[in-house]
Amino acid sequence: MPDDPMTDEPMADEPMPDEPRPVSHVPVLADEVVAMLAPVAGSQHVDATLGGGGHAERILEASDPDGRLLGLDADEAAIARVRSRLAPRFGARLRLRQANFRELATVAPEEGFADIDGCLFDLGLSSFQLADEARGFGIRTGGPLDMRFDTSRGLPAAELLASLDADELTALLRRYGEEPFAGRIARAIVQARRTAPIRTAEELATLIARVAPSRAPGRRRIHPATRTFQALRIAVNEELEALQTGLAAAVDLLRPGGRLVVLSYHSLEDRIVKRFLQAERRGCICPPEAPVCVCGRQPRLRLLTPKGLVATPAEITANPRARSARLRAAERLAA
Ligand SMILES: C[S@@+](CC[C@H](N)C(=O)[O-])C[C@H]1O[C@@H](n2cnc3c(N)ncnc32)[C@H](O)[C@@H]1O
């Protein structure tokens, strides 16, 4: 099968300089997500990234009258928002829990979701988080540089920026932001913090705009701080590590015929999802030079979207956040 193109948009969920600040979160590829998860009456689903609850609401509607859904989010504000919006309508059919999806293997069975029909991951951050001036996620929104999904754990982005040396910062910006001007930006950060710590999103964005051009060779025009913001957010939340663990846990929870659906927004995420699904489709993880299989692993997934799905131009016009979304879905095979 030919390799499909990776999503090449950086920080799709960051606002572009000419975009207004979002005030609500419109679920991306919602019809396609529901079609792939195929909820029916009585089914049990996990939404591992509840956000504003848009996808969760659609899944509950499609599994009327008694389908159940467990919604997780690392952000307690997301849980509180969805509880007040959807709990009155769906009652006991909706369970909510503040948790990182890297804990899915224990959290889901604890909540009575040990054998499920589907699991959704809609990665990254929500429009609510982006618009929150206390969190520092957005270049345009500004605010103190925190960037944690769960503000009760881990180091805020400002502390990470203050503690890494120039080489470590360069490596972080390359690894998680694929930033072509990583060294230049890292040196500027280290230089600037000798005078005063970098505490806010505005300070960081202004500093980067002074040293990095807004268009890297061959890439489209974005705010020059876009990749740095992406890199910091990924590092602060250990997003890529959580994704690996969460995906593996989700497959373990799926019953035969159950569906896994993942929406990713940049190439780092999509690469992990794609490789994970391919490995589970193949089963065997022996090196190609091994004459016979010694790992004994069997295929566990059938791919439903070999090349992934993307949003239509009409959806992108209505919801710019859909611009670089890629949906990948797979079905659990019988053991
Ligand atoms: C793109 S939004 C989800 C939007 C949602 N599908 C909707 O329709 O409103 C992603 C959400 O996932 C949460 N999140 C990101 N990584 C997480 C993780 N490792 N564990 C739990 N929640 C996570 C974020 O806090 C955010 O609220």
| pLDDT the model gives residue 290 | 87
Q: Is the pTM of this model over 0.75?
A: yes
Low-confidence ranges of the chain (pLDDT < 70): 1-23, 215-220
Nearest residue to 59 via CA among 80, 84, 42, 74? 42
What are the residues facing 240 on neighbouring strands? none
Q: Which residue has the tokens 């490789």?
A: 275
Q: Distance from first CA to last CA of the chain, Å, rounded? A: 25
Angle of the 182-195 helix axis to the 166-177 helix axis, nearest 10: 130
Q: Quick check: CB of 72 below 6 Å from ligand 1?
A: yes
Mutate to test the pocket of ligand 1, among 126, 137, 262 (most ligand atoms within 8 A of CB): 126
| pLDDT the model gives residue 215 | 67
Amino acid at 28: V
Q: Which residue's alpha carbon is nearest to atom 8 within ligand 1?
A: 54
| pLDDT the model gives residue 222 | 83
Q: Which atom of ligand 1 is nearest to the CA of 55?
A: 8
| pLDDT the model gives residue 282 | 92
* 120 C-alpha to ligand 1 centroid (Å): 10
Q: Quick check: CB of 137 below 6 Å from ligand 1?
A: no
Q: Phi-psi category of 163—alpha, beta or left, where left has phi over 0 and alpha has psi -120 to 50? A: alpha
* 52 C-alpha to ligand 1 centroid (Å): 8
Mutate to test the pocket of ligand 1, among 37, 45, 107, 149 (most ligand atoms within 8 A of CB): 149
Render pLDDT for 116-125 as a digit per residue (tens, 0 to 9): 999 999 999 9
124's CB contacts (< 8 A; 6+ apart) are: 12, 13, 239, 264, 265, 266, 269
Render pLDDT for 276-299 as a digit per residue (tens, 0 to 9): 999 999 998 888 888 888 888 899
Q: Which atom of ligand 1 is nearest to the CA of 100?
A: 20
| pLDDT the model gives residue 286 | 83
Render pLDDT for 163-211 as a digit per residue (tens, 0 to 9): 999 999 999 999 999 999 999 999 999 999 999 999 999 999 999 999 9
What are the residues facing 47 on neighbouring strands? 71, 120
| pLDDT the model gives residue 301 | 98
| pLDDT the model gives residue 15 | 39
Angle of the 239-253 helix axis to the 267-282 helix axis, nearest 10: 30
Residue 248 in tokens:
């593996």
The kind and range of the H/E element at 263 are strand 254-264
Q: Which atom of ligand 1 is nearest to the CA of 75?
A: 25
| pLDDT the model gives residue 289 | 86
